Amino acid sequence: MVADPLRILDCSPITDGAAAVILAPLDLAKKISKKPVVKIIGSGHATDTIALHSRKDLTEIKSTERAAKIAYEMASKSPDEIHLAEVHDCFTIAEICVIEALGFAEKGKGGPATEHGMTTLGGKIPVNTSGGLKSKGHPVGATGVAQAIEITKQLRGEAGERQVKNAKVGLTQNMGGSGGSSLVHIMEVV
Amino acid sequence: MSSPRYWRGIPQRYRLEAGKCRKCGKIYFPPRLICDECKSREFEKVNLPKEGKILTYTIIRVAPSQCTDQAPYAMGIVELSAGSTGKDGVKILSQIADCDFDKLEIGMPVRIEFRKIYQEGEAGIICYGYKCVPV
Ligand SMILES: [Zn+2]
């Protein structure tokens, strides 16, 4: 037990790791890339108080909710149109709160939805096919870019055994300060 | 946390000094420079009441380095009574000391007491602050 009710496997291990992507204007990217190009179609950033005791509701991650709203609007997409997502599951409960904030599950339903397979490979919205922070490891500075890499692999159809069928649109959600700051990106293969 | 940085927080840590927005009345603990509700920059100092109830809690079993000798211990978010501030629902994060873990529950009344928080560095400088104890 780490802090009731979180046990050690509920917590992501802080690990070493590195991640990198190449960003380029779309026409240039098409020219230099031999692989399908993935375009960022939505991007949102929002903040909340860092102190948990200053938040109105401990079970909501408002910064993710706001960042997602901005990203969905920019991309002209709704949660139903996202084929897979990589989210910041620093702890088991974080993923549950995040999938609710992203609109994949109703508030209070993220836990049961996960239990019933909504977020598994082949589920309605596969979440963290990479393993996420908990199973892949959490190299704090590299985690966010690693999410973008997993989505890129999936959208290019290069994810091998964990490939999500017909994945065309993916989402990443990263956060810091227990949800004090959140970033949401939506990507599409072009 | 270095001692000078800790000491700058003494008005809050020793006396529970909070900032109350002069315009909209929202209370911030610790105090802030700008009100996130109405963006006002004018605050008056208020002392938070010393009693409240447990809103939620956990038992820390793997503690940060400064507190390993105290583990396991209870931490909770405590909702303070209105008292002289005239505002309900100001919340603080605090250790819940002198308690039986099995008897802790949400809604339990607690009192805030002046306590030793931890000892720091090789010199063992003592940092004081507040902890909650069940009434
Ligand atoms: Zn105000």
Domain limits, chain A: 8-189
Contact criterion met (CB < 8 Å) for B92 and A49 = no
- Measured in Å, residue B28 CA sits from the centre of ligand 1 at 10
Q: What pLDDT is stored for residue A104 in this prediction?
A: 98
Ligand 1 centre to CA of B40 (Å) is: 5
Decide if B59 and A4 are in contact by the 8 Å CB cutoff: yes
- Residue B114 structural domain: 3-134
Closest Cα in chain A to B91 = A53
Residue B64: per-residue pLDDT: 87
Task: Report CA-CA distances (Å) from A172 to A76, A135, A177, B13.
Answer: 16, 17, 17, 39
Identify the residue with better confidence: B15 or A101.
A101
Give CATH for domain A8-189.
Answer: 3.40.47.10
Task: Quickly count: other Cβ atoms within 10 Å of residue B45's Cβ.
Answer: 11
A2, pLDDT greater than 90: yes
Determine contact, residues A158/A24, Cβ cutoff 8 Å. no
CA A44 → CA A69, A82, A126, A182, distances in Å? Answer: 7, 15, 21, 8
The maximal CA–CA distance of chain B, rounded, in angstroms, is: 46
Which residues of chain B does A2 touch, with a Cβ-Cβ cutoff of 8 Å? 61-62
The pLDDT tens digits for A36-57 are 999 999 999 999 999 999 898 9
Average pLDDT over residues A159-167: 97
Q: Inform me whether the C-beta atom of residue A4 falls under 8 Å from chain B C-beta atoms.
A: yes
Residue A23 has pLDDT above 70, yes or no: yes
Task: Indicate yes or no: CB of B93 within 8 angstroms of CB of A1.
Answer: no
Low-confidence residues of chain B, pLDDT below 70? 1-2, 84-88
Q: How many domains does chain B have?
A: 1
Distances (CA, A) of B107 to A176, B74, B134: 30, 15, 11
Centroid of ligand 1 to alpha carbon of B21 (angstroms): 5
Rounded distance between C-alpha atoms, residue A147 and residue A85, angstroms: 9
Quick check: A30 pLDDT over 90? yes
CB contact under 8 A, B77 and A1: no
